[in-house]
Structure 1
Amino acid sequence: MKSFRRLSKSKIGTGILILFLLLILASFAVSDISNLRSGGSLPQNTLAKVGDAELTAAELDFAMQRRLAQLRQQNPQATYADLAGDFDAVVNSLIQERTLWAYARKHGFTVSKKLVDAEIVKLPGVQGLDGRFSEEAYQGFLQQQRITDAQLRREIETALLQRLVLTPVAANARLGQSFARPYANLLLERREGELGLLPFAAFTGGAAPTPQELDAFYRQNAARYTIPERRVLRIARLTEAQLGAIAPTEQEVAAYYQANQATYGGSQTRVLSRASLPDQAAAAGIAARAKAGAANFAAAAAPAGFSAADVSLGPQSRQQLAALAGEAVAAQVFSAPAGTVVGPVQSSTGFDVIKVESISTATGRSLDQARSEIVAKLTVDKRKEALADLVGKVEDQLGEGRTFEEVAQANRLPVVVTPALTRSGIAVDQPDFKLPTDYAGMPAFGFDLGVDDDPVVESLPNEGGYALLDVTDVIPAAPAPFARVAAQVRTDFIAKRAADRANAAATTILQTAARGGSLADAVRSAGISGIRAPEGIDLRRGALSQFAQQGQEVPPPLRILFTLTPGKAQRAAGPSGIYLVKLDRVTQGDATSNPTLIAQQLTVLNRAVAEELAVQWLSAAQKELGVTRNEDAIKAARQRILQGS
């Protein structure tokens, strides 16, 4: 788990983690794939089997860990309990992945090692000081990300297999406009009615709560005033201060300079004349005349039918000439002095004769001029490598059984001891205590450790290095003493009483409205002071889509408006009061004159059809291969992961 969290916090790791959801069907409604059979013949640690591909409990554990890591990027206080709604989807997604793998193996779809290697060399962080792929840097990358070569290759192979096998299935789904028009009509549906609010503030009056009422409320709502579990942490930061002086050697600086001549050496161009013929003898004739002192290269090439415009190439870089005639020709031409006639030499177009008319070299930077820049770059790289080595040294020491104190002392690590902290980092007994910003994620990580667990090394955000984390005490959750929360209990009691009164008033108003008349008249007849009269509302269904576009939920009163039948009224709870909604009339939509809206809905439907095609493909593949689920093992895994038992 600790290694996965490290992976989730780096840019590279984030890219790898995305592969977990790369399968198209991870976001599909796959619960309707029903050709799965339960089987008691599977081993206890095997949750499911598709063809010859198995899903093990360890693989599910890893998947749930990565899902939790993703969730904690938005909510650092998230726990496995927050993933209860995702558990079945994760299991189904993993079974779908096995389906893809088993089907591909059965039918000869393979992802070559060369394809995977090509993806690996693109990863930042796997290059050496010369900018090229380095096996040493790659091993360091795997160690830093806490992932094995096999795991990384599996992730990449899965993504490639999905791209090659599954994506084409859903690529060309097309429906006619007649399918989209009813949906477009629905978006233009218009609803008119009334909307009112019974604010809780209008119901807060009345007698002050008695001590007996407050005590009873406190006991009935003890969970609300429970101080969550807290943990005392020790954090030792692994910083560059422990690295000492680090600088690249002269050999490393020179090697980097030579490997990056395109950056430091300047760009040379040559003005060239060129004749290319399929006949080597004819090309040799041009070369002989040019070398024998012809007036110019054009005159030497004229007997072979070339004009001056035909042979003039103008300024060419080595890369340009290589693209035109091939690297072998470019190598000879760019190693020759000005005035030289090169050829005949075989090129990509025949046999070439080329004259170097002149040479122009852009001003580059010498090694001495570029030294400070290169030294700064290599120093940063070497310090990163040295810090990674320090992390490895610390983890090796922990693996040898050394204590937190011994490791911190041996490596001169500065130690911070926190007061008892909640998962979110709050010190209930010391409200003014604040963790350093870099340590903000440590409390959540500490809740994955126990007092008897070995310390772990965690990554710090924003490439801030690493920290050694240890838990020294665990304080169980318990209700706060009444005296400490008395003021909050009183506030909550009054708020609850106001909410109960507002709901009772809403019941009366809705009963009145149900007998006929407007919602405004029903509110007025209730005789409650401090309440504004309901207002008219006129809305098209399509307007609700703006909330989804902004990543927001549709407000409850608007959602209710589009579920009511004319003449009906209903309530909806809001943060500041009770909403009252009444629908008066519905006007059906007609998108006939709005082809743009129909086209938009057609796009949405085509996407849905593509997803459904992929679902059906997987369903067919599972029927062919046979899928067995070990429901007892899955149930046990759910309880173990989500409930920690």
Structure 2
Amino acid sequence: MLDSFRRLSKSKIGTGILVAFLVAILASFALGDISSTRNSNFGLGSSTLAKAGDEEVTEQDVSRAMEQALNRIRQQNPAATYQDLATDYLPLVQSLIEGRALGAFAKNNGFILSPRLIGAEIAKIPGTRGLDGKFSDLAYQQFLGQQRMTDGEVRRLISQQLIQRLILTPAAAEARLSIGMASPYASMLLEEREGEMAIVPISAFAAGLKPSDADLASFYTANKARYTVPEQRILRIARFGPTDVAGAVPSDQEIAAYYNANQATYGAKETRVISQAVVPDAKVAAAIATRARTGDFAAAAQPAGLSAADVSVGPQTRAQFVELANEKVAAAVFAPAVNAGTIVGPIQSDLGWHVIRVESVKGDPGKSLATARTEIAAKLSVNKRKTALGDLVNRIQDGIDEGQGFADAVAKNKLAVSETPLLTAQGKALGDPQYKLPAELAGALKSGFELTPDDKPVVETLPGEAGFALVALGRDQPAAPAPLDAVRARVASDWVTKQTLLKTRSVATAIAAKIAAGAPFAQALATAGVNLPPVSPIRARRIQIEQSPPAVVPALQMLFSLSQGKSRLVPLPSANAFAIIRATKIVPGNAMTQPSLIGRVQGQFQQGASQEYALQFLAAVQAEVRVKRNEAAIAATRQRLVSPTGAAQ
């Protein structure tokens, strides 16, 4: 709604670009580009881009901020470069200057942040928490590595954001707009206009346009960048994995050795259901044993303060019972002469005096070697193949480190080789739209595009259980304009589109000039030389502009920018046409008939007013701390970072 009145200048990045990863814990203003307009160096060093009080913005600060911004962009677009941030460079520098200015202002006025407060904010970052949900030094170090930042940089960013939140927010929050100020704007929204509109469609002038060879050559030469094909590469890939070591199987001796070493699993064993009472006194234990020989064990232990749950141990093997009691007690309980119903004890251990009743005895003959052979062979095969695959990876890598090329490594290790068609960095084959690179080779594609022609092949780990891939660069085709013959049809189509647009614009401009000079719409349209749609009436309130379809918004905006009786040409991009609009009647609005609209305008203006307060406060802060800008150094740093010839990729 308020875009009809005023659009605040906003940078694409804003102040928050440096702390995008802290958004979960910090609230910050997306501040616009406030110009400090300092044109001389003011004696600043060549590496100092600006100074706010004692706080400096250095070339290194800007480089780090640009690097972090690029890393974030590359999460969505891996092919992004510093040139994609060219328009954001100056707003980013300004946001750093504003942050330093606020810091200097806080320092000058005794506003100090305690290290504990900053530490508490760091602990709120989700990436700094361990598996228990609490702050972890290890998790924090991993977080710093992922963000490619130091602890000092994080603390400085948090300090700046806290200062911004504690100083700037109170100055800008809860802005209020009076009814008297909101009413005129609300009345503007209710203003009604009537007019006439003539449409000149581009399609009406497309017939009969046919480029000559010279036209195509000239247009192609002037627009080569439009037909540039991105870098493409043919990658040679040798995949290997578990199937390449399928022959790694255990021998009979290995199976037998595993069987003998794991008798606890495969050997015969006996399970006994046990009830046990453990008391600290020998006499109490003897009394329990006496009562248990003639009655229920749980009842026998009850006088000693033990419940049925306390004495119920359940099924136990000898090994299990050794861990529960000790070897001496387990030997007595599992003695061959002890049968179901036998009372054993009292026997003393480190735990006290044990009285045990063997409730039942169950024997398990276990598995013979022949019976367990298949199971053991499967287990050992998995381990042997993992070991063999690891040995194969090491053997290939060692060979590469010693100078082996791709062909030698493949031949020596008998690997199957596949070769991709020419691919872009995104895995698309421009010559074969049906081709699809297997998803598990995404890492191999990335590695392949990082190789130079002189680089050794690399071993890439594939996701899941897909194994590995040896990757080498087969052929590199640098980015270059496609030959004219290869894109002739596209060039011809683009030429026709441009010529049609130029012709349509010329005719529409001529018609608009005639109408502006006083000619009737119908008479002016008749001079076009082609049949055009008839003149149509147009009527709307200003408040309807933003609610209208995109195709008619430019026409409505033009209608409300004209004085009564005036006309003007306006492009309609989404309608592929031009329109000549003339305002014939203006009816002022009266918001007093709609008090609720005034309230809405007040609310809508509040955000803009808060933004304005923030900008004004920042401007005052920068003036007070005397911000100085080294424009030459700022321009030189921009040239180094984002210019086509100087950008570091």
Q: Deviations over 1:574-607 (max 9, x none)?
A: 2553321312322222212122221222233333
Q: TM-score, normalised by structure 2?
A: 0.60
Q: Please report how far the alpha carbon of residue 78 of structure 1 lies from its aligned counterpart in structure 2 after TM superposition.
A: 4.7
Q: Given that residues 68 and 148 in structure 2 are in contact (C-alpha distance below 8 angstroms), is that contact kept between their aligned partners in structure 1?
A: no
Aligned to 1:103: 105
Q: SS at 2:128's partner residue?
A: coil
Q: One-letter code of the match for 1:533?
A: P
Q: Given that residues 226 and 480 in structure 1 are in contact (C-alpha distance below 8 angstroms), is that contact kept between their aligned partners in structure 2?
A: yes
Distance change in 2, residues 1:496/1:621 (3 Å): closer
2:619 paired with 1:619: yes
Q: Deviations over 1:149-169 (max 9, x none)?
A: 222222322222211121111
Mapped to 2, the partners of 1:453 and 1:631 lie a distance apart of: 41
Mapped to 2, the partners of 1:602 and 1:625 lie a distance apart of: 34
Q: Given that residues 422 and 443 in structure 1 are in contact (C-alpha distance below 8 angstroms), is that contact kept between their aligned partners in structure 2?
A: no
Q: SS at 2:509's partner residue?
A: helix
Distance change in 2, residues 1:64/1:225 (3 Å): same
Mapped to 1, the partners of 2:486 and 2:21 lie a distance apart of: 47
Q: Given that residues 524 and 533 in structure 1 are in contact (C-alpha distance below 8 angstroms), is that contact kept between their aligned partners in structure 2?
A: no
Mapped to 1, the partners of 2:628 and 2:474 lie a distance apart of: 44
Mapped to 1, the partners of 2:68 and 2:461 lie a distance apart of: 15
**Structure 2 stretches of 5 or more lacking a match?**
1-12, 242-393, 411-415
Distance change in 2, residues 1:164/1:228 (3 Å): same
Q: Please report how far the alpha carbon of residue 84 of structure 1 lies from its aligned counterpart in structure 2 after TM superposition.
A: 2.9
Q: CA RMSD in A?
A: 4.9
Q: One-letter code of the match for 1:483?
A: D
Q: Please report how far the alpha carbon of residue 642 of structure 1 lies from its aligned counterpart in structure 2 after TM superposition.
A: 1.5
Aligned to 1:499: 501
**Structure 1 stretches of 5 or more lacking a match?**
1-7, 240-393
Which is worse superposed, 88-97 or 588-597?
588-597
Aligned to 2:189: 187
Q: Please report how far the alpha carbon of residue 54 of structure 1 lies from its aligned counterpart in structure 2 after TM superposition.
A: 0.9
Aligned to 1:357: none
Q: Please report how far the alpha carbon of residue 423 of structure 1 lies from its aligned counterpart in structure 2 after TM superposition.
A: 5.9
Matches within 5 A, 1:415-564: 421-422=423-424, 426-435=428-437, 475-516=477-518, 518-529=520-531, 531-546=532-547, 555-564=553-562
Mapped to 2, the partners of 1:460 and 1:536 lie a distance apart of: 65
Q: SS at 1:559's partner residue?
A: helix
Q: SS at 1:28's partner residue?
A: coil
Aligned to 1:67: 69
Quick check: which has more Rg, 1 or 2? 2
Q: SS at 2:530's partner residue?
A: coil
Mapped to 1, the partners of 2:426 and 2:487 lie a distance apart of: 20
Q: Given that residues 52 and 97 in structure 2 are in contact (C-alpha distance below 8 angstroms), is that contact kept between their aligned partners in structure 1?
A: yes
Aligned to 2:170: 168
Aligned to 1:116: 118
| Aligned residue pair count | 466
Distance change in 2, residues 1:14/1:113 (3 Å): closer
Distance change in 2, residues 1:625/1:209 (3 Å): closer
Aligned to 2:135: 133
Q: One-letter code of the match for 1:126?
A: T
Aligned to 1:583: 582
Mapped to 1, the partners of 2:626 and 2:236 lie a distance apart of: 51
Q: One-letter code of the match for 2:541?
A: R
Mapped to 2, the partners of 1:617 and 1:125 lie a distance apart of: 34
Aligned to 1:52: 54
2:34 paired with 1:30: yes
Q: Please report how far the alpha carbon of residue 122 of structure 1 lies from its aligned counterpart in structure 2 after TM superposition.
A: 2.7
Q: Given that residues 227 and 477 in structure 1 are in contact (C-alpha distance below 8 angstroms), is that contact kept between their aligned partners in structure 2?
A: yes
Q: Please report how far the alpha carbon of residue 473 of structure 1 lies from its aligned counterpart in structure 2 after TM superposition.
A: 7.2
Q: Please report how far the alpha carbon of residue 484 of structure 1 lies from its aligned counterpart in structure 2 after TM superposition.
A: 0.9
Q: One-letter code of the match for 2:581?
A: K
Distance change in 2, residues 1:150/1:65 (3 Å): same
Q: SS at 2:540's partner residue?
A: strand
Q: SS at 2:592's partner residue?
A: coil
Mapped to 2, the partners of 1:436 and 1:14 lie a distance apart of: 36
Q: SS at 1:38's partner residue?
A: coil
Q: Deviations over 1:421-461 (max 9, x none)?
A: 55665443444444456887998999999778999999999
Which is worse superposed, 45-54 or 580-589?
580-589
Q: Please report how far the alpha carbon of residue 190 of structure 1 lies from its aligned counterpart in structure 2 after TM superposition.
A: 1.9
Q: Please report how far the alpha carbon of residue 112 of structure 1 lies from its aligned counterpart in structure 2 after TM superposition.
A: 1.9
Q: Given that residues 227 and 478 in structure 1 are in contact (C-alpha distance below 8 angstroms), is that contact kept between their aligned partners in structure 2?
A: yes
Q: Please report how far the alpha carbon of residue 182 of structure 1 lies from its aligned counterpart in structure 2 after TM superposition.
A: 1.5
Aligned to 1:16: 21
Distance change in 2, residues 1:106/1:216 (3 Å): closer
Distance change in 2, residues 1:425/1:510 (3 Å): farther
